[in-house]
Amino acid sequence: MAPLVIIAAVLAAIASSGPQGGAPDAAGASTDVAGAPTTIDKPVIHPAWTRLPSAGDFARLRPVRARGAKGVVTARCLIDEAGEFTSCDVILENPAGKGFGEATVKLSKLFKMKTTDGDGLPVAGRRLTLPVVWYPEPQ
């Protein structure tokens, strides 16, 4: 019985919409005119996962209308202070219309990372590009 698999490696970073306000500091944080941090432009490349979805989670969240199909989704997710995703935008869904994008957004709530990434930088307010592969259920 082939297990459902997630690709936990992060693809090339997709930068957020660009700096807002002043120039980024060494950690990638931009500041507004008053000097307060407004956004962090450096995406998380090396997450330190503390929780990942299980094969059972994949089976439970797999879209019914995608029966027998393989799906590939890339989502760009915002990370909160606890190392969890607060929101994810689907930037690639193949095949479209089978529900893999929506299922990936639900699945994203099951990920958690340390509050600092593998580079020692805080993850709060940063984004991560999350690739997910949905394999067909075993026959």
Q: For the whole model, what pTM was predicted?
A: 0.73
Q: 127: domain CATH number?
A: 3.30.2420.10
Smallest CA-to-CA distance from 75 within 7, 2, 1 is with 7
Evaluate whether 79 touches 130 at the Cβ level (below 8 Å).
no
Domain assignment of residue 111, yes or no = yes
Cα 63 from Cα 8, distance rounded (Å): 20
Domain assignment of residue 9, yes or no = no
- Domain total of the chain: 1
Q: Residue 83: CB partners within 8 Å, gap ≥ 6?
A: 50, 112, 113, 114, 115, 123
Between strands 49-51 and 112-113, the pairing is antiparallel
In 22-138, the DSSP E strands lie at 29-31, 37-40, 49-51, 71-79, 85-94, 112-113, 127-134
Q: Assign 7 to helix, strand or coil.
A: coil
Residue range of the domain that includes 97: 29-134
State the Rg of the chain over Cα. 16
Domain assignment of residue 49, yes or no = yes
**Tens digit of pLDDT at every position of the chain (139 positions):** 333 333 322 222 223 323 333 444 444 444 445 554 434 789 999 999 999 999 999 999 999 999 899 999 999 999 999 999 999 999 999 999 999 999 999 999 999 999 999 999 999 999 999 999 999 988 7
Domain assignment of residue 22, yes or no = no
Domain assignment of residue 100, yes or no = yes
Domain assignment of residue 95, yes or no = yes
